[in-house]
């Protein structure tokens, strides 16, 4: 399989939204949300954006981060420093963002406490630089429930489930395989909306196609693939 990145409709919506908040003038709201269930391609999309845009910095949230741990990690990404105090770390971040005009992309932001998000709001308010919060659906609910944060959100992008067009483009560009629409529809059902599971299905389809010298994937081929869905929990046997 070729190592290619597919610009799906969600990816293009994400890129356009980040570009919009990046152009927001200082003093105007420039926070952004990108949310969706696990496996929808959020992290890969964010990584690709940072590859294409040298002014973007991607920060991955760790579980149970304290404000000091979060701010120190952001500092380290910006200039290599790890201040030990919250006030110093925040001041360094503000100075660096004012100077470098970087964009902060915060991945797995649903792990953040509301206190940490408030620190990010402070940084945004002081610098006017865009901050993109990326996570599972709970981040959307968490931010929307906090009006002073929600009012600063300029763009919100939802990463929805895999669709037929995604499957057909992925097959053609990554595997040189033409997938019949009805077969693509069945793949959509099999991958349950997950791009991560779609990748594994495509690896198996490519193996089958090469072994049998097939260039077009039919419904029959897809139906003969092993089912990757989790097995149902067996019922307890009654005595």
Q: Where are the domains of the chain?
A: 9-158, 164-223
- pTM here is 0.85
d(CA 198, CA 223): 14
- Structure tokens given for 29: 């709201």
| Angstrom distance (rounded) from CA 179 to CA 117 | 43
- Which class does domain 164-223 fall in? mainly alpha
- pLDDT of res. 229: 56
Selection from 106, 94, 121 nearest residue 35 by Cα: 106
Question: Which pLDDT value is given to residue 1?
Answer: 80
What fold does the segment set 9-158 form as a domain?
A: Rossmann fold (3.40.50)
pLDDT score recorded for residue 35: 96
Chain centre distance of CA 54: 18
- As a whole number, the mean pLDDT across the chain is 90
Residue 42 has a CB neighbour count (10 Å cut-off) of 24
Instruction: Give the integer Cα–Cα distance in Å for 161 and 193.
Output: 4
What per-residue confidence (pLDDT) applies to 235? 46
Q: Is 128 left (phi over 0), alpha (psi -120 to 50) or beta?
A: left
- What pLDDT is attached to residue 226? 79
Instruction: Tell me the average confidence (pLDDT) per consecutive run of 10 residues in the chain, 239 residues long.
Output: 82 92 73 94 94 94 95 94 92 94 95 95 93 96 93 93 92 92 95 90 93 93 78 45
Q: What is the pLDDT of residue 27?
A: 58
Q: What is the pLDDT of residues 76-124, one digit of tens each?
A: 999 998 998 999 999 999 999 999 889 999 999 999 999 999 999 999 9
Proportion of the chain above pLDDT 70, given as a percent: 93
Cβ atoms 111, 128 nearer than 8 A: no
């Amino acid at each position: 399989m070729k190592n290619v990145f597919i610009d799906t409709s969600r990816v293009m919506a994400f890129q356009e939204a980040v570009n919009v908040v990046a152009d927001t003038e200082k003093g105007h709201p420039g926070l952004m949300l990108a949310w969706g269930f696990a496996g929808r391609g959020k992290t890969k999309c964010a990584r690709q954006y940072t590859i294409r845009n040298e002014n973007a910095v991607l920060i991955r949230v760790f579980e149970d981060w304290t404000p000091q741990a979060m701010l120190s990690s952001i500092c380290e990404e910006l200039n290599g420093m790890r201040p030990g105090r919250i006030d110093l770390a925040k001041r360094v971040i503000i100075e660096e963002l004012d100077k470098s005009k970087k964009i902060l992309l915060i991945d797995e932001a649903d792990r953040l406490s509301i206190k940490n998000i408030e620190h990010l709001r402070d940084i945004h308010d002081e610098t006017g630089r865009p901050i993109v919060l990326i996570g599972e659906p709970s981040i959307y609910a968490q931010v929307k429930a906090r009006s002073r944060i929600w009012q600063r959100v300029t763009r919100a992008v939802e990463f929805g489930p895999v669709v037929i067009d995604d499957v057909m483009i992925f097959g053609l560009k990554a595997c040189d395989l033409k997938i019949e629409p009805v077969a693509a529809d069945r793949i959509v059902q099999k991958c349950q909306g997950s791009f991560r599971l779609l990748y594994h299905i495509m690896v198996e389809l490519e193996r089958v196609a090469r072994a049998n010298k097939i260039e077009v994937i039919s419904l029959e081929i897809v139906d003969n693939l092993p089912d990757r869905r989790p097995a149902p929990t067996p019922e307890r046997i009654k005595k």
